[in-house]
């Protein structure tokens, strides 16, 4: 297989070298996850987009996809803003993050598939609300039926 693929090598530049592609990719991921999450989010604020474009993206497109998904779950607005972005994307420009150890924040890094991020977020919401599903759904900014659907989908019944 390698020799068949090596006949025509394709070099894809890293996402950090293609910052101009990030707005288009964000739009794609917003559309992709709308039905799954059950929210009508169509855009990313200018400030949040600037943060995303300034980030170095060590996990490339998969990391961007996971962060958009996570942010869509967290936000209660119709636009993604900087308040729903994870701290990791603010990089060393944020002084309070410079000395922070990454072992705790690595739970939601580029190596974590988005379905695991969702499961983690659902579990955290349930823990914080002592298992009260309506309150957990409200805390995440989603409807109770969407929360139940996600619990079933991710086998957290």
The whole-chain average pLDDT of the chain stands at 83
Distances (CA, A) of 150 to 16, 68, 86, 87, 136: 32, 17, 21, 25, 12
Domain 13-92 has CATH 1.10.260.40: no
Please provide the CATH number assigned to the domain covering 113-157: 1.10.10
- Candidate from 55-69, 78-92, 102-116 with smallest mean pLDDT: 102-116
- Mean per-residue pLDDT for 124-150? 88
Q: Which residue in 73, 142, 147, 70 sits closest to 113, CA to CA?
A: 70
Pick the range with the lowest mean pLDDT from 28-37, 85-94, 97-106, 137-146: 97-106
Which residues neighbour 7 within 8 Å (Cβ) at sequence distance 6 or greater? none
Of the pLDDT bands very low, low, confident and very high (cuts 50, 70, 90), residue 94 is very low
The per-residue pLDDT for 38 is: 86
- The arithmetic mean of pLDDT across residues 5-23, rounded, is 87
Give, in degrees to the nearest 5, the angle at Cα 54 between 50 and 60. 115
pTM for this one? 0.57
pLDDT of 121? 87
Q: Convert the pLDDT of each residue in 24-83 to its tens digit.
A: 999 999 999 998 888 889 999 999 999 999 999 998 999 999 999 999 998 888 999 999
Angle between helix 46-54 and 22-37 (nearest 10): 120
Domain boundaries, the chain: 13-92, 113-157
Q: What is the pLDDT of residue 139?
A: 83
pLDDT at residue 12 in the model:
82
Asked if 13-92 and 113-157 have one fold, the answer is no
Pick from 83, 85, 106, 74: nearest CA to 26? 85
């Amino acid at each position: 297989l390698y020799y068949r693929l090596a006949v025509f090598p394709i070099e894809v530049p890293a996402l950090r070298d293609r910052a101009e592609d990030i707005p288009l990719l964000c739009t794609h991921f917003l559309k992709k996850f709308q039905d799954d999450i059950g929210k009508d989010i169509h855009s990313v604020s200018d400030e949040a987009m600037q943060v995303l474009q300034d980030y170095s993206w060590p996990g490339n497109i998969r990391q961007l996809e996971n962060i958009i998904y996570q942010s869509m779950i967290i936000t209660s607005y119709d636009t993604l803003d900087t308040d729903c972005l994870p701290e990791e994307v603010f990089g060393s420009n944020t002084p309070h993050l410079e000395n922070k150890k990454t072992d705790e924040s690595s739970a939601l890094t580029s190596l974590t598939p988005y379905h695991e991020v969702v499961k983690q977020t659902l579990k955290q919401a349930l823990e914080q609300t002592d298992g009260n599903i309506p309150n957990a759904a409200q805390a995440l900014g989603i409807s109770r039926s969407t929360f139940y659907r996600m619990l079933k989908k991710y086998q957290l019944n």
